[in-house]
Amino acid sequence: MKASCLYECQVFHRRFLPKDHQFQYRIFLFHLDLDELPELVRSVPIFSVDEPNVYSLRGEDYFRLKQAPLRENLCLFLESEGFREVPARIRLLTLPRLLGYTFNPVSIFFCYDAENRPLTSVIQVGNTFGEGKPYLVPVEDGRFHVRIPKHFYVSPFSDLDLEFDFLFDFP
């Protein structure tokens, strides 16, 4: 049975300063098992990897560590963060390019061992300038959780010295 699928989601955002503002919209995200990508490219005509298409997963949109496949770049990032175990399975929750355009504010890599137990996750936050920054999010009490300094310009309404508090479950 394939692990890759689509998730229907609702995005909600609210800020209080300088002026109260909020929005909510529906979206779907791709949940892709990296090992299934070649088969998905063959069986889904509107999806490709590193090639133009209606939906295109482009390695250059994630981890700009070196010109390497997505899995290798993720493993390089994990190693740079002191994580030594190489994941047996990697699944990515993301929004690929749509007709060549990128709108991908957040992507989550879920890393599993050979017995399909969660090892860790990596969340990559994107901003409106096309920049992306990855953060290691470990498993804590059966969920993924980390509170970490942001050090990344995401919004003109939030300072750089704030923190992200990532808390999410397994898909």
The predicted-structure confidence for 37-65, as pLDDT tens digits, reads as follows 999 999 999 999 999 999 999 988 888 66
Strand 89-94 relative to strand 97-98, pairing: unpaired
The position carrying tokens 């970490």 is 148
Global pTM value: 0.89
- Which residue, 108, 96, 117, is CA-closest to 166? 108
pLDDT along the chain (171 residues), means of 10: 88 80 90 96 96 94 77 92 93 95 90 94 85 89 87 72 84 82
The position carrying tokens 């493993």 is 75
- pLDDT of the residue at 7: 92
Helix residue ranges, H only, the chain: 37-43, 70-80
